[in-house]
Amino acid sequence: MCDTIVALGNVTADGATLFGKNSDREPNEAHHVVIIPAADHAPGRRVQCTYIEIPQVAHTYRVLLAKPFWIWGAEMGANEHGVVIGNEAVFTKIPYGKTPGLIGMDLLRLALERANTARAALDVITQLLAQYGQSGNCGFRHPTYYHNSFLIADPHDAWVLETADKHWAAERVKDIRTISNGLTIGNQFDLASPDLVAYAVERGWCKGRDDFHFARCYSDFLFTRFSRSRARQCRTTDALAAQRGKITIETMLRALRDHSDNARWSPARGIASFDVCAHAGWGPIRGTQTTGSLVSHLTPTAQTHFITATAAPCTSIFKPVWLDAGVPNMNEPTPTGEYDPATLFWRHESLHRATLRDYATCLALYRDERDALEQRFIADALACREQPLEERIACSVRAFAQADEAEKRWTERVAVRAGTEYPGWLYASAWRRFDREAKMTGNR
């Protein structure tokens, strides 16, 4: 489950387009942030995606990918032209293809590598859908199949693209828009696949264009309902709407960290609750959690991205990166599904999982420091976003180093208070299993 949000410049405080996403995956499915350089490709070359090869294009753009470590594509990312995309799993009445093919994350990366505007990225994805469709396992330890929706933005424009197999509808964003794990486009859309309505009529989902409603006709009821996609989309929409005209990066961070208005909220409670800032627990509904988050500040002259590269944005620090400046921890080993303190993702897991053992008490030990550090990172990054490359590299390197040092201090502080056990029998059972599978027991 995931959530993706955007606010165009006509409703933000400084006129920039702001984009954000939480990537929700299995707890041990390490999140990896990488920059792929631009490249020229000889005629006839092919590109190996997660499962299949397809023809390569003559030139691919430089891209920032925030991705599950084992997948070729990405759940979110950006390119050198300021195009950003996030994808969402959506559940439809059309059977999911299980034959290895292009998955939604592959479509996202291919669009970033090949498109210089949001609208061009939409065209890349829909053309690939028409040619190849979408199919294949998208799960790490547990096979998972679904279709995809996308929120696509650039400094000037944004689009929602929702798909059901090869069928799709697209809506141009006017100011604020959020998506979650359900189809949201109704009877009004700006673009659509040629047979979108006819396919629904043939199957008796509607009688014609007059009563056609994309989400109502194509959505699968059961999985869409249990994903709580409508409730989460309402939370993110309300969070942005409340700040309409003065939306900032901080607004986006708060939206991605949202749990609920319940003062007694705890990640240890419930077997079916699923918030924007998602925490895994017991059972199939809570088998995933937010493993990485991204917020992008987009203007025509500068695009600044803030990434966690770590799980649970409520326990993480957003740090600035620029595509031409690199990601400071890129020289670390690629994280895998097992604990490795040489990687940023797994170093943070020591803090994250200790916090989960007494969430409210432990988070309070470092939340204010997290916010103060993040405020400084944001201010520094925006101040130098149009400065020479050397200054931006230094800004990013400094932020990553300071964040790493801070998390080491917090981990030591939390370890003293957290104890060794997770609360609640079902919650503790789930997290003890996650720790065993990650070979993390005894390595916290």
Q: What is the DSSP string of 122-187?
A: HHHHHHHHHHH--BS---SSS----EEEEEEE-SS-EEEEEEETTEEEEEE-SSEEEE-SS----S
Provide the total of helices (H) and of strands (E) in the chain, helices listed first.
12, 18
Quick one: which of 132, 156, 138 has its CA closest to 301? 156
DSSP 247: B
Residue 291 has pLDDT above 60, yes or no: yes
CA distance 339 to 315: 18
Per-residue tokens: 146: 């679904």
pLDDT of residue 420: 85
Select which of 2, 217, 384, 395 is catalytic: 2
Tell me, yes or no, if 217 is annotated catalytic.
no
* Beta bridge mates, 55: 46
- Percentage of the chain beyond pLDDT 90 is 90
Q: Above pLDDT 70, what percent of the chain?
A: 99
Residue 443: is its pLDDT beyond 70? no
Q: β-strands 176-179, 59-60: how paired?
A: unpaired
**Confidence at 442, pLDDT banded by 50, 70, 90:** low
Query: Which pLDDT band holds residue 23 (cuts at 50, 70, 90)?
Result: very high
Q: How far is CA 373 from CA 183, 319, 379, 396, 428, in A?
A: 37, 10, 10, 13, 31
Q: How many CB atoms lie within 10 A of CB 221?
A: 9
Give the angle 103-313-172 at the CA atoms, nearest 5°. Answer: 50
Please list, in sequence order, all residues whose beta carbon lies within 8 angstroms of the beta carbon of residue 426, skipping any fewer than 6 positions away: 271, 281, 282, 283
Q: Is 438 exposed, middle or buried (0-12, 13-18, 19+ CB in 10 A)?
A: buried
Mean pLDDT computed over 241-265: 93
Q: Parse the chain into domains and list their residue ranges.
A: 3-331
Give the Cβ contact number of residue 123 at 10 Å.
Answer: 16
User: Is residue 210's pLDDT more than 70?
Assistant: yes
CATH of the structural domain 3-331, one choice from 3.40.50.300, 3.60.60.10, 2.170.120.12, 3.30.450.20 = 3.60.60.10
pLDDT at 438 over 90: yes
From 2-16, 26-40, 213-227, 326-340, the region with the lowest mean pLDDT? 213-227
Give the predicted TM-score (pTM) of the model.
0.96
Q: Give CA–CA dist 35/268, Å, rounded.
A: 36
